[in-house]
Each structure stands twice: as C-alpha cells, then as structure tokens.
C-alpha cells in the first residue's frame, strides 16, 4: 500500500501525540522550558513514574531530548522531532493551495469565455 507523503515516518509521532497526557507534557515543556521529571510532576497531574514513562515514549519518537545533570535528567522539546509531522501536514496545505489555484484558474477562464 502506498503511503501519502511521509505518513509512514509521521505515524509514530502521531501515535505518541495521541495520548492527551503526552500532549500536556510536550506543551508544558514548550511553554515552561526545560525541566526535570520532578518539576513536570508538579505541573502535570500525574505521578513521577507516569511522567517518566510518557517521556520515554516522547523521546523514542524524537519529540523530547534530555541531558543528565548530576542525578537528574533535564528534558526539553526537540524541534527536529516534529519535522516529519510538519512535512506530512504541509502536504495538506500544498493540496489546499493547489485546489485554490485551480479554482481561480477555472473562474478566470469562465469569465474570459463570457466576454
């Protein structure tokens, strides 16, 4: 079966973002900046072990990165992890723009035929 654009590559990111808690974690990192699991657990109403498991999933698909600072890991959004998803979604925008361009061309052609 042929996939649409990079859907196969974007699929794991979409799957990871299918969970509302992971979306909240990603949004929390996006707006609040890099932080540890403990800080995330204070900001997101789930346990530290749950936060860690969600971060593991987000990390596996490249949406978050971490760096070790002593005994803590500091997590941050990894913008490049969104590239495949962005690329796939951009194709929809391209399709929409092409449909609009086709509509304008048809409209202009009909107007010219009426003259």
Share of the chain above pLDDT 70, in %: 94
The CATH class of 7-114 is: mainly alpha
pLDDT digits (tens, 9 = 90+) for 82-95: 888 888 888 877 77
Residue 3 has pLDDT above 50, yes or no: no
Any residues with CB less than 8 A from the CB of 6 and at least 6 apart, and which? 84, 87, 88, 91
pLDDT digits (tens, 9 = 90+) for 8-35: 778 899 999 999 999 999 999 999 999 9
pLDDT digits (tens, 9 = 90+) for 45-70: 999 999 999 999 999 999 999 999 88
Q: Where are the domains of the chain?
A: 7-114
């Amino acid at each position: 079966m042929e996939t649409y654009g990079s859907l196969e590559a974007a699929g794991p990111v979409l799957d990871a973002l299918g969970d509302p808690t992971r979306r909240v974690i990603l949004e929390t990192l996006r707006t609040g900046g890099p932080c540890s699991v403990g800080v995330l657990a204070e900001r997101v109403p789930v346990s530290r072990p749950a936060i860690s498991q969600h971060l593991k999933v987000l990390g596996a698909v490249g949406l978050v990165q971490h760096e070790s600072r002593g005994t803590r890991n500091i997590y941050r959004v990894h913008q490049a992890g969104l590239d495949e998803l962005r690329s796939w979604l951009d194709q929809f925008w391209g399709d929409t723009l092409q449909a609009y361009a086709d509509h304008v061309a048809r409209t202009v052609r009909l107007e010219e035929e009426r003259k």
